[in-house]
A and B are shown apart, each in its own frame.
Chain A
Amino acid sequence: MANNTIPDAGEKQQTLLGADELILNMGPQHPSTHGVLRVKLKLDGERVIGSECMIGYLHRGVEKIAEHRSYQQRSYQQFAPYVDRMDYVAAVSNGLGYCEAIEKLLMVEAPPRAKVIRTILTELQRIASHLLWLGTHALDIGALTPLFYCFREREEILKIFEKYCGARLTTHAFRIGGLQYEAYDTLEKDVERFCKAFEPRIKDYEDLLTQNRIWLGRTKGVGILTAAEAIALGATGPVLRASGVKWDIRKAMPYAAYDQYKFEIPTGKTGDTYDRYMVRMEEMRQSRLICLQAIENIPSGPIMARVGKVLKPPPGEVYHSIEAPKGELGYYVVSDGTVQPYRVRIRPPSFVNLQSFDKMARGGLVADVVAIIGTLDIVLGEVDR
């Protein structure tokens, strides 16, 4: 068949019946590759004996753009909206990471009020991102309904974003040095209302899935990643935590206002798809608690630190990472003292987590492949940049 002309994925292996192996080209146009991921699968019957992820279909050269924005000589600010387009389902987190990295470079600190509001919005964004993951992951495994429930709640979060900054998806909510907008009057009330309503909703999702025999069969023991493997492959975020490693940058290297709040880091044991599911579900609960704590006491004061209209950081370099919903999102920025960054290197969690795909998929069935793509929670905008 025509598809056999594409080169082998991985090394040759013995098939069960000594038959030819089947090369299945999954994507870039496929219902469950979450965008434009292309996976070449080498199959023995339905069993995966090799795989190769082919990425780059959504490459826009984000890092290069950072070096070249010079419109009105406000390059650092000009680039800020671009990072929202990487992980477009968690734009607020991307923006936070970038703003804080540049603030570190400028040696300024955002005022406390800005920090708390940043924390609230980022945690809401984490819930929104996990909701989207839950919906699509369940849809991949065949449960149609959770998707719409998840979107219903995500919509509430997006409405809060819209009220705050006018945008829902690529929000560009923060500015370097603080916030562009003062929080609107009923922000606390909106967040509180959402958090109150959200608790029973999580239970609804869990009722549909957690104890479901089919769900257990599809996720337990699928795509196992041991702690050692996860660390070796550089996995971060829920993927790492589900393997039993208690590593969360919010605790390890607190940023924004996270050091003020109490929350748990959920971890798994076996590192299979079910554990990753449970970890993310618990993370949503914890994020909700952080939001509730944060709205209790939002300090008053200015929302912007004193930064100039044109940012000219002193020459030097900085690496700043945050715990994005998908894992460690790092920005390495080099300044040569001009108005443009000399280099911006981004460590996207999805890209690094995707490297463990082959490890997880090998030995599974075709149906497991979509479960693993779902459980890695990748966003191709971030993988390809």
Chain B
Amino acid sequence: MQAVTQATTEFVKQNWAPLVCGFVVVAVLPLIVGYVVLVERKIMADMQARLGPMRVGPHGLLQPIADAVKLLIKEDIIPDDADKLVFWLAPVLSVGAALLAMAGLAIGPAFQIAQGINIGILFVVGVSAMGIFGIVLGGWASNSHYSLIGALRSSAQLVSYETAAGMALVCGLLFAGTLNITSIVQAQYDQGIWFGLLAPVAFFVYLVASIAETNRAPFDLPEAESELVAGYMTEFSGFRWSLYFLAEYTNMIVVASVATTLFLGGWLRPFPRTHWLDFIDFLPPLLMVVIGVYCLIRVPKQPVRVQQLFMLAVAGMCFAVAVVLAAPMLGPLLKPSLASAMKPFFEGIHGGFWFIFKVGAYIYFFMWLRFTLPRYRFDQLMRLGWHFLIPLSIINVLLIGIAMIVGQYFDLTGPSLLLTTIPASVIALMIALFILAVEQKKEPQQQPGAATPDSYA
């Protein structure tokens, strides 16, 4: 017993930093997810010619907190016919997998919970894929037809698209030559180009597959609200439902982070090695100042005094962030001797900014698609996955590999590698489209009324 206690103490002493980081992530993530939802609702409202949440706090800024409180104090309902243990376990499993995946991610060079984990990307992908158990078990345990169909759809969908996504990741990893997340970003710095530009087709495949994996529209069939009410979540309510919700949005952040790390240069600013573009470093603090000034202008327009104060606080926060972003740059300007001491701070803070910026852009794209596109039907979804994305990703890996060998033969590195990889990507795309056309020709036209085989029955 004492040995165990001692070992634990020893472990905590050695790993206090990641433990604290992990605690922070678990504690703060629900809040972040809440605000991601608010941002989503605001963007949706903007695209749909309306205002979105406006009642709780100025411009609905306290809405996530109100929502969270509502969900927490709701009655906890377990259906009579449900499998109680599995019903309890499923959402926990789902959210656990999603949170665990966060451990492998690096938000800027300084902030990574599992520091220097050498199988980084593999860990993240593997662990986040486990979340599907939560969905399938939850759908099964609810003992409802809608849940069951939702769970089955989900499992079929995840299996199909995980393959394509994995193959797309392999493309990026070919360039990086490592699974370690820090090294992947470093490789993009060394080669002076984002891997997403080197392998655009792989990035595209990952983009589509990651939307399908996170069950977002237009691939949100497992929870298609107009067909299956809420799919696998139909019987869940209150806190359990919010766990699923948390898992879904955490998964979105995870796939966006993976894409950012591997394809969009991670925490590097655009053109990190082009020195005449160094003024880009001034953009983040400038952006925050602009937002802050905008909030300040809005202050007198708020109808209630509390809202004015709140707006003022938001403006103040923006300025504070701007100061934090600007400090490591302005310090050396005032005192050149500080330059070397400030460098890690600069990289950490600005790296974090750019990483979050890129992840945000990626998630914005998800939302944009959701509000624009109708939903796929199940057989169409499967056809897209198996007849197009999987062949495309496999051919793409092959051709990119060949392109790299050819590139080595001609001593091409960095951006000049585009000379071989872009033709390879184009050829891969053309072959995949050809396969798709052939498959469509082979397929017998669906007869109405005839029981044609199901994609997964």
Contacts and interface: CB of A to CB of B under 8 A. Distances in A.
A233 to B, nearest CB: 15
A16 interface: yes
A49 interface: yes
B227 interface: yes
Contacts of B85: none
A343 interface: no
A253 interface: no
A17 to B, nearest CB: 6
Interface in B203-247: 217-218, 220-221, 224-229
B27 interface: no
Contacts of A224: 448
A365 B450 contact: no
Given A148-B48, A214-B374, A217-B376, A363 B456 contact: no
A65 interface: no
A145 B371 contact: yes
A384 interface: no
Nearest to A219: B374
Nearest to B218: A214
Interface stretch (A24-32, A192-200, A314-322): A24-32
A145 B375 contact: no
A367 B449 contact: no
Interface string B444-456: 0011111111101
The A contact surface, by secondary structure, is mixed
A143 interface: yes
Nearest to B80: A2
B286 interface: no
22 contacts: A31-B226, A45-B457, A49-B451, A141-B226, A141-B374, A141-B375, A142-B220, A142-B375, A142-B376, A143-B373, A143-B375, A144-B217, A147-B48, A212-B373, A214-B373, A214-B375, A215-B374, A217-B376, A217-B377, A218-B380, A366-B228, A370-B226
The 6 A-B pairs at the shortest CB distance, nearest first, are namely A142-B375, A45-B457, A148-B48, A32-B226, A363-B449, A45-B454
Contacts of B452: 47, 363
Contacts of B377: 217-218, 365, 367-368
B378 interface: yes
Interface in A41-55: 44-47, 49
Contacts of B454: 16, 44-47
B342 to A, nearest CB: 47
Contacts of B375: 141-143, 214, 218, 367
A137 to B, nearest CB: 10
A20 to B, nearest CB: 12
B149 A30 contact: no
B446 A221 contact: yes
Contacts of A24: 145-146, 149
Contacts of B10: none
Nearest to B146: A24
Contacts of A365: 377-379
A54 to B, nearest CB: 17
Interface residues of B, number: 43
B436 to A, nearest CB: 13
B48 A145 contact: yes
A250 interface: no
The B contact surface, by secondary structure, is loop
B44 A144 contact: yes
A139 interface: yes
Nearest to B450: A363
B457 to A, nearest CB: 3
Contacts of A217: 376-377, 380
Nearest to B153: A46
Nearest to A217: B380
A34 B372 CA distance: 22
B374 A212 contact: yes
B334 interface: no
Contact of A47 (B144, B145, B229, B451): B451
B141 to A, nearest CB: 13
A88 to B, nearest CB: 21
Contacts of A366: 149, 227-228, 378
Nearest to B372: A145
A144 B378 contact: no
Contacts, number: 124
A45 B456 contact: yes
Interface string B49-61: 1100000000000
Contacts of A13: 451
Contacts of B451: 13-16, 44, 47, 49, 363
A22 interface: yes
A72 interface: no
B370 interface: yes
Given A148-B48, A149-B49, A367 B227 contact: yes
A3 interface: yes
Contacts of A215: 374
A363 B374 contact: no
Given A47-B454, A144-B44, A218-B376, 20 more contacts: A1-B143, A1-B145, A13-B451, A25-B145, A31-B226, A44-B454, A46-B457, A47-B451, A47-B452, A47-B457, A142-B220, A142-B226, A142-B373, A142-B376, A143-B374, A212-B373, A221-B448, A365-B379, A366-B227, A367-B378
B81 interface: yes
Contacts of B225: 31
A362 interface: yes
B234 to A, nearest CB: 11
Contact of A3 (B47, B145, B217, B224): B145
Interface string B375-394: 11111100000000000000
B47 A145 contact: yes
A209 interface: yes
A209 B372 contact: no
Contacts of A45: 454, 456-457
Contacts of A14: 451
